[in-house]
């Protein structure tokens, strides 16, 4: 276990940054500050939380965020607890950062900077890294003085990943030029993504977009879906990274899966949402987030054990509404039912609400059947006989629908296949019987 007092050892290990969390709880707002979430964000950025302070106020102080008396109290805590970094639970202006640093002898970062820092650490693809850098530069531009002071104080650490000290010291003109260059690169990558999307639409491959609050289990669900489709060896190569932490994965992942009726679809895992998701992130990731707009179905994944379930559900819904400009069916899926802490929660699935455990793969088959129904409608199994002169129809069904009991003879091929109701008419002349059950 990590010891907050541990110093650097001979192997070069650096102790984690000791962080003090600060939040204001406004008396006129129903929503309370979730300090546990801020703590998890700090831990995701590889810091350690030593203590936290919440002040009840009528409004945010324009100079110090908290009141002047409270900021002096914070300064004393910084000295007593040997705090390296003070983390504020809201976005601070450049002037607020400078004013606070004049009193508090520690690095000062806000919630936005903290989230950007985590994103910088987790982005793996070229597009993801460019999106994060764009968001960071836009955040840094109006805060150059205060942020440069942070860098000169500690020489890096939480809140300083990504553009780095050298880039933050660029003048405004050069930063604006860099922003323009990155945007041009993202536009080019967006054209490539659009071309691929058009091909999928031309091939009539449905898209199911998985959305949800960060750490709801989206990547774990995608891996469970992959395991339902491929052999163990193939599945291992197609799995995405998943871990029990905020923003464990950042880059959008696409995986092709076959539904119970045989039709192939693509499941898309998007970046996790969070309360007060920085506008810079939403804007920078607009291109990849817009993939949700083209989904045929949205799976809203929710951690059933989340203490702030309702708030997090509303947060995700509102963010999706900002992105999507048309009516897309939504399937609500509650995850982690293998670890339910409230025995009063019912877990009876329906066509609109499914209860699963992505980790233990419980009810993944129910989820796939429900997705199949919502995308394709009713299906049934039939016996068919296709003559040799029209075998192309058999080969298409063999590749795109589940078939079995195949027998070739001199006249053609007899087999059983699953057909969706909307395509039954197309193959009516080949149907010799309906298989019940």
Q: What are phi and psi of 79, to 5 degrees?
A: -70, -45
Instruction: Consult the annotation and say whether 337 binds a ligand.
Output: yes
- Report d(CA 21, CA 229) in Å as an integer: 45
Instruction: Consult the annotation and say whether 249 binds a ligand.
Output: yes
Please count the other Cβ atoms lying within 10 Å of the Cβ belonging to residue 343: 5
Q: Find the radius of gyration of the CA atoms of the chain.
A: 26
Instruction: Consult the annotation and say whether 213 binds a ligand.
Output: yes
Instruction: Consult the annotation and say whether 184 binds a ligand.
Output: no
Instruction: Consult the annotation and say whether 402 binds a ligand.
Output: no
Tokens of 276: 């007060």
Instruction: Consult the annotation and say whether 219 binds a ligand.
Output: yes
Spatial contact of 21 and 39, defined as CB atoms under 8 Å apart: yes
Contacts of 407 (CB under 8 A, 6+ apart): 413, 414, 415
Comparing CA positions, the residue from 187, 223, 218 lying closest to residue 335 is 218
Instruction: Consult the annotation and say whether 271 binds a ligand.
Output: yes
Spatial contact of 371 and 208, defined as CB atoms under 8 Å apart: yes
Helix 144-154 and helix 94-103, axial crossing angle in degrees, nearest 10? 40
Comparing CA positions, the residue from 230, 221, 270 lying closest to residue 247 is 270
Comparing CA positions, the residue from 258, 298, 304, 250 lying closest to residue 274 is 250
Instruction: Consult the annotation and say whether 335 binds a ligand.
Output: yes
Q: What does the chain come to in residues?
A: 437
Beta pairing, strands 379-387 & 403-408: unpaired
Instruction: Consult the annotation and say whether 269 binds a ligand.
Output: yes
Instruction: Consult the annotation and say whether 248 binds a ligand.
Output: yes
Longest dimension (CA), the chain: 93
Instruction: Consult the annotation and say whether 359 binds a ligand.
Output: yes
- Report d(CA 267, CA 245) in Å as an integer: 22
Q: What are phi and psi of 93, to 5 degrees?
A: -80, 165
Instruction: Consult the annotation and say whether 338 binds a ligand.
Output: yes
- Report d(CA 219, CA 272) in Å as an integer: 10
Comparing CA positions, the residue from 358, 312, 311, 124 lying closest to residue 212 is 312
Instruction: Consult the annotation and say whether 284 binds a ligand.
Output: no
Instruction: Consult the annotation and say whether 247 binds a ligand.
Output: yes
Positive or negative torsion for Cα 293, 240, 246, 360: positive
SS (H, E, C) 338-403: HHCCCCCCCCCCCCCEEECECCCCECHHHHHHHHHHHHHCCEEEEEEEEEHHHHHHHHHHHHHCCE
Instruction: Consult the annotation and say whether 357 binds a ligand.
Output: yes
Annotated binding-site members for GTP: 212-219, 247-251, 269-272, 335-338, 357-359
Annotated binding-site members for Mg(2+): 219, 249
Annotated binding-site members: 212-219, 247-251, 269-272, 335-338, 357-359
């Amino acid at each position: 276990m990590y010891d907050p007092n541990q110093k650097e050892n001979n192997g070069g290990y650096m102790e984690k940054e000791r962080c003090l969390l600060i939040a204001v709880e406004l008396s006129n707002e129903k929503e309370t500050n979730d300090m546990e979430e801020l703590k998890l964000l700090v831990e995701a950025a590889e810091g350690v939380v030593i203590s936290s302070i919440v002040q009840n106020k009528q409004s945010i102080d324009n100079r110090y965020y908290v009141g002047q008396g409270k900021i002096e109290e914070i300064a004393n805590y910084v000295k007593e607890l040997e705090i390296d970094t003070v983390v504020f639970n809201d976005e601070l202006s450049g002037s607020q950062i400078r004013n606070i640093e004049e009193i508090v002898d520690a690095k000062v970062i806000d919630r936005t900077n903290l989230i950007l820092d985590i994103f910088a650490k987790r982005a793996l693809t070229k597009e993801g890294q460019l999106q994060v850098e764009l968001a960071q530069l836009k955040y840094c531009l109006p805060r150059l003085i205060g942020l440069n002071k942070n860098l000169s104080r500690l020489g890096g650490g939480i809140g300083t990943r990504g553009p780095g000290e050298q880039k933050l010291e660029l003048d405004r003109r050069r930063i604006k030029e860099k922003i323009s260059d990155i945007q041009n690169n993202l536009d080019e990558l967006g054209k490539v993504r659009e071309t691929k999307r058009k091909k999928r639409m031309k091939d009539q491959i449905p898209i199911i977009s998985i959305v949800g609050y960060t750490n709801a289990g989206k990547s774990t669900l995608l891996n469970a879906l992959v395991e339902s489709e491929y052999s163990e060896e193939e599945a291992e190569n197609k799995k995405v990274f998943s871990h029990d932490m905020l923003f464990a994965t950042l880059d959008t992942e696409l995986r092709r899966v076959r539904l119970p009726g045989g039709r192939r679809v693509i499941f898309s895992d998007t970046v996790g949402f969070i309360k007060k998701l920085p506008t810079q992130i939403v804007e920078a990731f607009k291109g990849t987030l817009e993939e949700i707009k083209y989904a045929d179905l949205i799976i809203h994944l929710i951690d059933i054990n989340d203490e702030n379930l309702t708030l997090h559900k509303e947060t995700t819904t509102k963010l999706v509404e900002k992105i999507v400009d048309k009516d897309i069916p939504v399937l609500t899926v509650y995850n982690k039912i293998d670890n339910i802490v409230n025995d009063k929660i019912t877990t009876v699935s329906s066509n609109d609400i499914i209860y699963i455990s992505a980790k233990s793969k419980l009810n993944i088959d129910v989820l796939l059947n429900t997705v199949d129904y919502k995308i394709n409608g009713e299906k049934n199994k039939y016996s068919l006989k296709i003559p040799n002169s029209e075998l192309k129809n058999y080969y298409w069904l063999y590749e795109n629908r589940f078939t079995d009991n195949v027998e070739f003879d001199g006249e053609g091929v007899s087999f059983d296949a699953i057909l969706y109701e909307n395509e039954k008419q197309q193959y009516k002349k080949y149907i010799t019987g309906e298989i019940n059950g």
